[in-house]
Every structure is written in C-alpha cells, then in structure tokens.
Structure 1
Amino acid sequence: MIENFEETQKYKLILNEINGEEKSITGIQKSLEEKGINMHRLVLTGYLNAMVELGILKEKEIKPARIFSAAGQNRHDIYSIVGSSMRKFDEENAGYNSLQVLYYLFERPIFTRELERCSVNIPTKNTRTINSQYRNDYVKKLGEADIKIPVSSVLLEPVDFDKAGITKLLNYILASEYDLRKYMVVNTNQKTLD
C-alpha cells in the first residue's frame, strides 16, 4: 500500500520540480536526484507524457530538448504569439520574420534562444551576428522575466530592416490574435462590373 501511495505522489514531485519554470527531462531528473529521488529516465518520460496528455503539463520542443511547464500557467507570451503567427503567415520565412518583429518590438538584437522560444528555425540568411557590450544587461533583463539565456546563445540582427514589411507583419499578428473586424467599417458601396 505504501508503494502505491509513493507511485501516486510522483506526479506531485515532478510538478514541484518544475515549480513555475520550463525544464527539460534532464533538468527534472537532475533536480530529483539532488533530492535523493532516483527515477529512471524512461519512467520519468512516461510520467511527463502522461501528465501532458492529462493537461497537467504543457510540452514544447526547443531543439534538441523537449521542455515541460505547468499547464495552469499562462504561456501565451510574446514569443509564442509571434512564432505562431509567423508560421501561419509564411512557414518558410517564419524565423526571419520573427527576428524582424522581435528586433522592432524590443529595439535590440535578438538571442537565438528567443527565436527557439518562438518555435521557428534560426534564420541564416539576411542576418548578422552581433557582439554587443550590452549582452549581460540583456541576459539580466530576460532573467527577470524568467527567460534563461545560455552562454552559447548568439545575438542576431536582421540585415535588411523594412519598416513597411514590419507593419504588415504586426498587422497580421494582431489580426490573428484579435477579431479586428468588429472595430472596422466595411465599405458596402463598392463598384461592381456591369
């Protein structure tokens, strides 16, 4: 009976380890091991998959890892909004378009980790790598928003910055997220061909 009780409590241990953060399977496993709880990776993966299916956890892929977070949290952040909209707008160029939008909105170079959070491919064309003296400031600021930037994350800027194109992308994002038609007057006096 005690064994069954321990089995039913494992999901609570996993939730406690995630504790409002986003963590990989390896990160969760290491945290549990540090507390003296040894759980085989396959068993842990099974629990995580079941918790995703039950709606307790959310899963997202940030290559090469699968990242888990508590489902009760609002993970509808700027990165998921931009990434989702840019994939719908133009799947092939979603990475570059996401870079342009974030660069415009944040008024700074964008970390590759931020693009990974958008779930888009890292663009390789029409971008330049930046070595900014403000990198540590950016990392600190993002850390305050619970966004961890690894040392290996590179800062990128778009080479050809097109404000008219950005306006079109931002309009698409807003129209994707909100029903803008309720604020618009549709011209019903259109001319027809006779």
Structure 2
Amino acid sequence: MNWSNCYRDDKLSQARISVSDMQKRASQLYNALMEKRCNLTQKLNEGVHNVALLQNELISDYLYDWKNRQKLQQVGVPFKERDRMIDEIQTEFEMLAEQNWQLRTYTCWQMDLLRRGPQISGHVAQTANLNSILDNLTKLLCMLVSQSFIVATQPEPVLKTQHKFLAEVRLLIGDKLGIKQHLVNTNVTVRIIA
C-alpha cells in the first residue's frame, strides 16, 4: 500500500511538473505571438507612412511640375519630354497603387487572423490599430485615384465659338486597379469657364 501511494505521488508530481512546463511554454508562445503581432502592426504603420510620403512627393512635386510645364507649353515654352515625364509619373502612380493594395491585403489578413484566433488581451487595441491603418490606406488610395485623372493634352488657350477642340484625358492608374477596362466607352464632360 505504501508503495502504491509513493507511485501515485510520483506520478502526480510528474504531472504537475509537466503541466507547469506546458504553462511556461504556452506563456512563451503567447508572448512571442504578441510581440510578432506588435511588430507586424508597426511595420504596417511604417509602410503606410512611407506610401504617404512618396504619394505626397509624387502629387505635390512631380505631377504639379508636369502640369505647370504643360501650362507653359501652351504659351510657347518648349516641353519636349512631356510624354516621357507623364509615362514615368504613371509608373510611379501604378507602383504606389500596388504598394497600397499589398499593405491593405496584409492588414486584412491580420484582421482576419485576429477575428478567427483566440480572444486574448490586447485584441481590441490590435483591431483598432489595424482599422486605423486600413482607414489611412483607403484615404491614400482615394486621393491617388482622384489625382490620377489628368488632362494629358490641353486644348488651345483661346477657344473660338462654334469650333471643336481636342483634349485628351488620361487615367494614370487604371491598369493596376482594373478600372481601365470599364472605361472603354466613357464620356468626359467639359465645362468651359469664361
């Protein structure tokens, strides 16, 4: 009888040690998971910040410069690299749209993992951070799309009544977002402001 009590005590002691080891391991895994989630959220925030900086530079500097040169061309200043410059600007617009979309995808994946996973502490804060990232990416993408509609070829600065004129409107990111295929028979309305 004494021997069986010792055996049971030994088994119970081993079980306690095993449970304690499992709890330590689970705690380590939990801490590693929380650290990885925080690091990923920080990297996503850095990505959004970088996209915002690049987008601001592209729109405020490069596109603005191109539009000013285009206006100067209308009054006789040569602008030979017009097409090359707008093609480069279009490439940059497309790259930013692609980067934005990738960041959106990663953010949505992370949010999906949070929804499906166990509801652990910090979950609400993580979800709020990811929602903020997603909102910022949406605003940046909307601004990028709205700024990507440009008049690539301007009409003459002085228009005569009852005369037709040519103007070319260009969408700089339509291919990357799959928009261009829906714009095949699109009409653009022009208002001439006197």
TM-score (norm: length of structure 2): 0.22
Of Structure 1 and Structure 2, the greater helix share is in 2
Pick the structure with greater CA Rg.
Answer: 2
Of Structure 1 and Structure 2, the greater strand share is in 1
